[in-house]
Structure 1
Amino acid sequence: MKVATYNVNGVNGRLPVLLRWLDEAEPDIVCLQELKSPDERFPIEAIREAGYDAIWHGQKSWNGVAILSRVGEIHETRRGLPGDPDDSHSRYIEAAVRGIIVGGLYLPNGNPRPGPKFDYKLRWFDRLIAHAGELIGTGLPIILAGDFNVMPTERDVYKPERWLDDALFAPEVRAAYFRLLDQGWTDALRALHPDETIYTFWDYFRNAYARNAGLRIDHLLLSPALAGRLRSAGVDAHVRGWEKTSDHAPVWIELSDRPSRRRKAKEPA
């Protein structure tokens, strides 16, 4: 099974790019972020023509998340994070798809820092950690996938010294990310590519993509019940080079149907 996350930066404006990538990459389950579309304008007919069903949580001009599937029904389990009934941002959607709980998220950017937007980011992160703790406590196979708006380490950002004051690289935000991982989640890309330079976002300015001056801010986290099924992971970075494309690239993992069995070491003769 191939599961992907993709911040499309406007699902209607980038629809040709999204459909082209779906046809090329053939992911089974996809989490989308930054739909920038109210619910009634989500392009469900075009998505279905591409072979996918979908659920979505839209918002006019900003935010918005969706889950797509071509491998079975999508059973929505949650829309929005618990912990703040007054939060009107469309940033989280969760569903059961083919025996896996999929949480699709778009964590706040948080800039400028300090300020109200940064405070909101930290509160949202705390709510995510609380909910993720409840999820992982179930023992079920779970994926948290999306745009986390955090570069966890210096390896995940081009010229980290230029990002010291940015909300995506703030010590508090990076610490929150590792508090999340400490619950038992596996960062899929780093688990398989611990030392590689991997980016998932390149700004539109200063020729960032051509210079590979990027950030790794899109992540797929696996619960212990699912981590043993991880087979491969990567970034479709070439999609960032397409015309009228998002400033993010799709990130994907491949899962086997069953966890691998480790071979026992041979006893000495």
Structure 2
Amino acid sequence: MHINGEEKALGCPTALSELLTQLGYRTAFVAVELNGNIIKQADFGSTNITAAEKLAIVSFLEGRCMISKEEIVAALGKGLTQAQLDALHNARIAVVGLGGLGSNIAVALTRLGIGQLYLYDFDKVELSNLNRQYYFLDDIGQYKADALVKHLRQINPYAALHSQVGKVTQENIPALLGDCDIICEALDDAAGKAMLVSTVLSTWSDKKVIAGSGIAGFGKAEEITSKKITKNLYLCGDGNSDFHDLPLCGARVALCAMQQALLAARIILDLEEN
């Protein structure tokens, strides 16, 4: 049978749980794909395996992954040229604010194989966040900067993630963002957004800022756009709606987040006009 791309000898049919144990895996810490289908952990004992099967096994135990870094890179970069892979791998992007915009931006950038991600937020996950942010029930009470890293590791356990609990201020921006090429602004309050954008643009002449503005309500998807404002500033959103007046719809928030992540990729791949 094939296990993680390698041929393995297997005798009589056996339960998946028994096979995992034979191979040295702890079943509570693995995810298994059998012939292209994900198997629930509850079904490991009732799922029989034969020599004709194809298995992909990912084990997360003490920070280790049984799938190699090369396999992860190849999977995340499927269809990309080597030049595109290299450009994405060499990129350094900061996401400031890990709520509805930031958490979804970080997920998209991790799936793109971005080389270095810098993640900043001071807040903790609350129940009310679950309608639009990339968190789950068991994250409630945890710092977003910690909980999000846990989820990103499930996408790419080898990702270089620099996560910090705390506020990004005018005083610490040079230290926190100095190594980044692109900064994705994903803050909640207008004053914080303005401070971040103005400080970055006045401190550096070579860094790109991708800001979000106008994500509330149930407006049409085509109203969420991205545009270049100045040489180093880009804006995503409808530019108008205010969450103080309208509800936040997770689908619309995610649309803006994906616009920001896509724009970051286009900048990295030199697809945006200078």
TM-score normalised by structure 2 residue count: 0.32
**Structure with more contact order per residue of length (Cα contacts < 8 Å, sep ≥ 6):** 1
Larger radius of gyration: 2
